[in-house]
Amino acid sequence: MADKPVIYLLPGLLCDRDVWQYQARALADACEVRIPDYRGVDSLSAMAAQILAEAPPRFAVAGHSMGGRVGLELIHSAPQRISHLILLSVGAHAVTDEECEQRSSLVEEAASIGMDRYAASWADLMLGYRDKDNPAVRRIIETMARRQDLDDFIAHITAGLGRADQAKYLPDITIPVLLVVGEKDTWSPVSQHQDILRLIPAATLAVVPDAGHMVPLDQPDIVSQLIVDWLRSI
């Protein structure tokens, strides 16, 4: 029996394998699912190198938020090794002064109140688009955040702010790419994904209704089916 194809599901900021729990189950029969832990790693290129060092010669990638940025580093540094690329709730633009200020303020708040209390504030930010709270999603977001310490948070903020202008990578991507974004994502809005869509030669955009930045948790069934269908289609 042939080995299953490998897919890496890459978590974003203050997230871990739990952000992918629904998709991991949906993919388990067809794929070997790997979800890396790059806590404490303070550059996107180092996160990508960690994956490349232990990955098979060819593998699929789905990256959410910061994980999508890691996916872009992977496709830039080892394009021949990536069979499928799915980017969720992602950006590719260069760092702005506004972003530096915003990210610094997040770290300052976390440092002042501690990660345990900050987890609730983080969930508020991620779920702010909802008129009515979703206790199950909130619980997952807060639990993931509490598993990170302040040094992990600072490392990943450092990685994001130290990134290259990844928009320059996009025209060189030769494989088809699936972009997925929540309709109500205010952190990485639909317009941001439309900008990426225009720069990748063969990209498809899926806008998920009634979902925000945490789209794999907000609409798990829709996102799982999008990924399963994409892996089968090319």
Residue 18 one-letter amino acid: D
Given a cut of 80, whether residue 162 has pLDDT beyond it is: yes
pLDDT at 1: 43
Residue 152 one-letter amino acid: D
User: If residue 119 lies in a helix (H) or strand (E), which one and from where to where?
Assistant: helix 115-126
pLDDT at 166: 98
pLDDT at 2: 62
d(C-alpha 107, C-alpha 97), whole Å: 16
Given a cut of 90, whether residue 234 has pLDDT beyond it is: no
What's the first-to-final CA gap in the chain, in angstroms? 22
Q: What is the mean pLDDT of residues 37-44?
A: 96
d(C-alpha 177, C-alpha 200), whole Å: 8
d(C-alpha 179, C-alpha 16), whole Å: 21
Rg (CA), the chain: 17
d(C-alpha 21, C-alpha 131), whole Å: 25
d(C-alpha 9, C-alpha 35), whole Å: 5
d(C-alpha 153, C-alpha 223), whole Å: 26
Share of the chain above pLDDT 70, in %: 99
Confidence of residue 156 (pLDDT cuts 50, 70, 90): very high
Confidence of residue 21 (pLDDT cuts 50, 70, 90): very high
d(C-alpha 34, C-alpha 183), whole Å: 27
Q: Record the tokens describing residue 183, joined without a space.
A: 């309709």
CATH superfamily of 6-95+156-233: Alpha/Beta hydrolase fold, catalytic domain (3.40.50.1820)
Confidence of residue 217 (pLDDT cuts 50, 70, 90): very high
Q: What is the mean pLDDT of residues 227-233?
A: 95
pLDDT at 190: 98
Enumerate residues 6+ apart whose C-beta is below 8 A from 61: 7, 8, 10, 71, 74, 75, 82, 84, 85, 86
Nearest to 64 by CA among 88, 39, 38, 33: 88
Given a cut of 70, whether residue 118 has pLDDT beyond it is: yes
Q: What is the mean pLDDT of residues 183-204?
A: 97
d(C-alpha 192, C-alpha 181), whole Å: 9
Given a cut of 50, whether residue 201 has pLDDT beyond it is: yes
The reported pTM is 0.96
Which sequence spans correspond to the domains of the chain?
6-95+156-233
Given a cut of 70, whether residue 86 has pLDDT beyond it is: yes
Half-sphere exposure of 28 (CA within 13 A, CB side): 7
Q: How much is the mean pLDDT over the chain?
A: 96
DSSP SS3 for 35: coil
Confidence of residue 133 (pLDDT cuts 50, 70, 90): confident
d(C-alpha 140, C-alpha 124), whole Å: 12
User: If residue 135 lies in a helix (H) or strand (E), which one and from where to where?
Assistant: helix 135-146
